[in-house]
């Protein structure tokens, strides 16, 4: 078998043992789950810990859909909030505590196992790692939350009805868990298992999150301690860089090395992947979905595309009239990661699925509410299902460590050229891009995105943010980044698509031959032999163009010209309120000691 380690639900007994209602107030008494018959051997501990694994998979490639990286025709919580009148009665997710009870139950019982202390500490560290991740997700959503490190019984009213603990206290407890886990979880574990380096990666990730969040969110009144967490991020990232043995995957093929990270059936041996999620057809299928390609619900944005640099390292947005570049022109002389993320002119579609035009050189399919851009990063463009369902997912990449270190150093005002050379420039070397140097020219477009960045290394911070956006494009990182940088107003801009200067014929494949024809919404698409043919004798694909709300097949900003429009109104991002979520009203009714914060009711 291909895989050396898989995390499956290996015991029906275990599932029954730990099952519980996620409602915080609806719990089974501890005596009803038979803990006295478990937690006796290392096998027991291992089985239980495996049940805590909840790392992301292919769904993460759709994670940018509610940001400025992509648009969606589906519903998202933030999308609903920004165009409506949200309250604690309508925003009701996230206040679930079943996983915490499962973790704390383990921590209260694991030391009974007949194993040596080092092994006990390893498993205790794993459980505390999962608790730290659980609580960090709660802090990111609610900020102040009640901290529990014990299993609560149904008669413990003082604990059941306690108030929220403040963010500073809870985050302090989270990092106590991370500290213990980083010290005691074994470094050598089977591929796909949590080891010391996985723990330290999450510790660095969350320290960077908390440090920058505190720095850019004055409503917390925690800015004085922001640097404490930035220093943790810096130091832990450097430890991983120096001692873990991981390195950036780079075979010298600048046009494919980056792309191969996202369509490999064997990330176990990849030098960059700190934590792979391992799949094998008919044993543990990847669950990948063809909608990643982007003409079912989600599609990438022009704003993301415009963030990629030119191949000489200059800013794409420094070109005159860059916003009016045609589709083919947008991909000329660009950072190679663009063509390994977006379907580019001349790209060949093999996995046709529901794409009506079939296989072959792909002609960008236009339709209303979609940008016209398509995502190939994470899209498995092959017909062999045994391969497609065996592709591994890179949960944690060493690239993140490099950019965590660079960003933390820049935010602390400590960044040097040496730091850039061992971080950002290692990533640029993989794709053959020029190096970033200290004191780069300030990009006006990037500066306008993040007007709250201050200090002596503003330009460097902005370029590190660009690098992070490009390197992790459409991997699900963008939302957290926008939130921690207090850049929520970026999400008010309606995502746009391909630019068309007028109605008429257009080449979308880059061969100089027309592929599509835009006609007015008031016209009818001709049928059969009445359609115009191009110089190759192929019939053009017709689209009726109009404004939002028209009976048209594609929306343009001006009806008969402009960028493709995906949504008429994104709404308003209310600061600081929308950086947080309310406790659902039903829980506040049960426990009136839980008070709403940041303007929620």
pLDDT digits (tens, 9 = 90+) for 63-87: 898 899 999 998 899 999 999 999 9
| Residue 2 pLDDT class (50, 70, 90 cuts) | low
Task: Tell me the pLDDT tens digit for each residue of 113-123.
Answer: 999 999 999 99
pLDDT (0 to 100) of residue 287: 86
Whole-angstrom distance, CA of residue 200 vs CA of residue 296: 37
Query: Taking residues 107-113, what's their average pLDDT?
Result: 97
pLDDT (0 to 100) of residue 596: 98
Q: To the nearest 10°, report the CA torsion of 534, 540, 543, 544.
A: 70
Share of the chain above pLDDT 70, in %: 94
Just give the CATH number of 1-62+95-185: 1.25.40.890
Domain 186-278+301-340+392-475 has CATH 1.25.40.390: yes
pLDDT (0 to 100) of residue 63: 87
Query: Taking residues 36-65, what's their average pLDDT?
Result: 93
| Residue 454 pLDDT class (50, 70, 90 cuts) | confident
pTM: 0.94
Task: Tell me the pLDDT tens digit for each residue of 135-167.
Answer: 999 999 999 999 999 999 888 989 999 999 999
Contact residues for 291 (Cβ-Cβ < 8 A; gap 6+): 62, 297, 298
pLDDT (0 to 100) of residue 367: 92
Query: What is the DSSP code (8-state) at residue 473?
Result: T
CA atoms within 13 A on the CB side of 256: 5
| Residue 217 pLDDT class (50, 70, 90 cuts) | very high
Contact residues for 425 (Cβ-Cβ < 8 A; gap 6+): 435, 436
Query: Taking residues 552-556, what's their average pLDDT?
Result: 97
Task: Tell me the pLDDT tens digit for each residue of 379-414.
Answer: 999 999 999 999 999 999 999 999 999 999 999 999
What backbone phi and psi angles, to 5 degrees, belong to 360? Answer: 115, -170
pLDDT (0 to 100) of residue 354: 66
- Above 80 in pLDDT, residue 26? no
- Above 80 in pLDDT, residue 577? yes
For the chain, the domains span: 1-62+95-185, 186-278+301-340+392-475, 496-565
pLDDT (0 to 100) of residue 289: 86
Q: If 0-12 CB within 10 Å is exposed, 13-18 middle and 19+ buried, where does residue 179 land?
A: middle
- Above 60 in pLDDT, residue 237? yes
**Equal CATH topology for 1-62+95-185 and 186-278+301-340+392-475:** yes
- Above 90 in pLDDT, residue 562? yes
- Above 60 in pLDDT, residue 31? no
DSSP string of 394-441, one letter each residue? EEEEHHHHHHHHHHHHHHTT---HHHHHTTHHHHHHHTTPPPP-SSPP
- Above 50 in pLDDT, residue 9? no
pLDDT (0 to 100) of residue 355: 74
Q: Token digits for 199?
A: 């723990």
pLDDT (0 to 100) of residue 13: 35
Q: If 0-12 CB within 10 Å is exposed, 13-18 middle and 19+ buried, where does residue 116 land?
A: exposed
Q: Token digits for 144?
A: 């102040």
pLDDT (0 to 100) of residue 173: 98
Closest CA to 546 of 516, 523, 570: 523
């Amino acid at each position: 078998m291909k895989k050396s380690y898989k995390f499956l639900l290996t015991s029906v007994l275990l599932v029954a043992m730990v099952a519980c209602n996620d409602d915080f107030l609806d719990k089974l008494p501890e005596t009803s789950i038979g803990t006295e018959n478990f937690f006796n051997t290392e096998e027991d501990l291992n089985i239980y810990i495996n049940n805590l694994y909840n790392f992301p998979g292919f769904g993460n490639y759709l994670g940018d859909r509610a940001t400025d990286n992509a648009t969606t025709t589906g519903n998202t919580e933030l999308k609903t909030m920004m165009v409506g009148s949200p309250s604690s009665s309508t925003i009701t997710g996230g206040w679930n505590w079943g996983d915490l009870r499962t973790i704390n139950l383990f921590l209260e019982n694991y030391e009974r196992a007949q194993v040596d202390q080092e092994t006990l500490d390893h498993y205790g560290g794993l459980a505390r790692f999962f608790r730290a991740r659980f609580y960090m997700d709660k802090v990111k959503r609610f900020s102040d939350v009640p901290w529990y490190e014990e299993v609560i019984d149904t008669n413990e009213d003082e604990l059941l009805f306690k108030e929220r603990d403040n963010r500073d206290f809870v985050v302090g407890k989270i990092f106590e868990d991370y500290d213990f886990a980083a010290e005691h979880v074994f470094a050598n574990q089977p591929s796909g298992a949590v080891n010391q380096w996985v723990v330290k990666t999450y510790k660095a990730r969350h320290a960077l999150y908390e440090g920058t969040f505190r720095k850019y969110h004055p409503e917390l009144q925690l800015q004085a301690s922001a640097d404490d967490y930035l220093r943790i991020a810096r130091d832990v990232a450097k430890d991983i860089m120096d001692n873990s043995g991981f390195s950036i995957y780079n075979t010298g093929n600048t046009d494919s090395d980056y792309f191969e990270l996202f369509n490999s059936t064997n990330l176990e041996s990849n030098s960059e992947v700190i934590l792979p999620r391992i799949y094998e057809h008919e044993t543990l299928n990847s669950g990948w979905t063809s909608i990643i390609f982007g003409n079912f619900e989600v599609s990438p944005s022009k704003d993301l595309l415009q963030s990629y640099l030119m191949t000489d390292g200059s800013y794409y947005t420094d070109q005159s009239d860059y916003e009016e570049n045609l589709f083919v022109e947008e991909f000329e002389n660009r950072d190679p990661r663009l063509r390994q993320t977006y379907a580019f002119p001349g790209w060949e579609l093999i996995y046709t699925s529901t794409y009506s035009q079939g296989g072959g050189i792909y002609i960008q399919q236009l339709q209303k509410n979609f940008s016209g851009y398509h995502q190939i990063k994470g899209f498995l463009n092959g017909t062999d299902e045994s391969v497609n369902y065996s592709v591994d997912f890179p949960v944690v990449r060493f690239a993140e460590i490099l950019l965590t270190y660079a960003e933390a150093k820049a935010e602390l005002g400590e960044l040097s050229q040496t730091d850039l050379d061992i971080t950002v420039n290692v990533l640029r070397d993989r794709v053959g891009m020029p190096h970033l140097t200290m004191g780069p020219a300030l990009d006006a477009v990037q500066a306008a995105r993040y007007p709250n960045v201050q200090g002596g290394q503003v330009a460097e911070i902005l370029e590190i943010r660009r690098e992070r956006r490009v390197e992790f494009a459409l991997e699900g990182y963008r939302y957290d980044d926008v939130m921690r940088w207090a850049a929520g107003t970026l999400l008010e801009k309606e995502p746009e698509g391909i630019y068309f200067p007028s109605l008429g014929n257009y080449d979308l494949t880059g061969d100089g031959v027309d592929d599509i024809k835009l006609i007015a919404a008031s016209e009818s698409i001709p049928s059969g032999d009445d359609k115009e043919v191009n110089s190759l004798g192929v019939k053009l694909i017709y689209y009726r163009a109009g404004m939002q709300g028209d009976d048209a097949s594609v929306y343009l900003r001006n009806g008969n010209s402009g960028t493709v429009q995906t949504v008429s109104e994104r709404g308003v991002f209310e600061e600081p309120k929308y950086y947080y979520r309310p406790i659902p009203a039903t829980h506040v009714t049960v426990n009136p000691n839980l008070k709403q914060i940041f303007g929620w009711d």
